[in-house]
A and B are shown apart, each in its own frame.
Chain A
Amino acid sequence: DTEVTQTPKHLVMGMTNKKSLKCEQHMGHRAMYWYKQKAKKPPELMFVYSYEKLSINESVPSRFSPECPNSSLLNLHLHALQPEDSALYLCASSRSGAGGNYEQYFGPGTRLTVT
């Protein structure tokens, strides 16, 4: 099973709202990733967790706050977003982070619209 699940599938939120995106995998992977994807563009890396510790933050604004409660779960907390943050948010996981060129498996994404 190479499935990464994400909820919700769609999310509409106002600029003053607080919401969270959720990602789950049960492949025993120890690295998990958040990406942001704008239409017709490749995904842009936001955060990497390796063994439940934040390893990479690609200078993402603080209105995005990641959390990794355990090795299977990854959350992205959203607060005071801007309309330009509207995008497809993708979660991915891989067998490891540093070391080994393992492939990443992606979830279906959450389509976020900020009004």
Chain B
Amino acid sequence: GNSVTQMEGPVTLSEEAFLTINCTYTATGYPSLFWYVQYPGEGLQLLLKATKADDKGSNKGFEATYRKETTSFHLEKGSVQVSDSAVYFCALRNAGGTSYGKLTFGQGTILTVHP
């Protein structure tokens, strides 16, 4: 079956520090990969996505590259801000069959950025 493993949190950084949140996956076929962000008291927002190997998704300074050879999709940002404090979820979706596009989520990583 499908599974997603994220690095354990919480992660605490100072403003302008470099961020990496590791994500690895197990899946059959050719899944799409996503990063979602959840700010306190809100729903999930799609941060970025990649649909095939070597694709790089990017948005708001965040980047992640779909690495099929290492089955990874690590999230990076060069300089975090206090406003980036949130929970980050890595997820995958496999097309076709009877999965109806079910999303498989990682356990989430809590990021706190201090001024």
Interface residues of A (CB under 8 A from B): 2, 4, 6, 31, 40-43, 45, 48, 50, 55-56, 88, 90, 92, 94, 96-109
Contacts and interface: CB of A to CB of B under 8 A. Distances in A.
B101 A105 contact: no
Contacts of A48: 100-102
Given A98-B100, A101-B31, A43 B95 contact: no
Contact of B110 (A40, A45, A50): A40
A45 B94 CA distance: 15
A67 B93 CA distance: 24
B102 A56 contact: yes
B1 interface: no
A42 B106 contact: yes
Nearest to B46: A103
Given A41-B108, A42-B105, A104-B103, A98 B97 contact: yes
A101 B93 contact: yes
Nearest to B99: A98
A106 B34 contact: no
Contact of A50 (B46, B94, B100, B103): B100
Interface of B: 30-32, 34, 36, 42-46, 49, 51, 87, 89, 93-103, 105-108, 110
Contacts, number: 77
Contacts of A107: 43
11 contacts: A31-B100, A43-B103, A48-B101, A98-B95, A98-B97, A98-B100, A98-B101, A101-B101, A102-B93, A106-B43, A107-B43
A75 to B, nearest CB: 17
Contacts of A6: 43
Contact of A90 (B34, B43, B51, B87): B43
Contacts of B87: 40
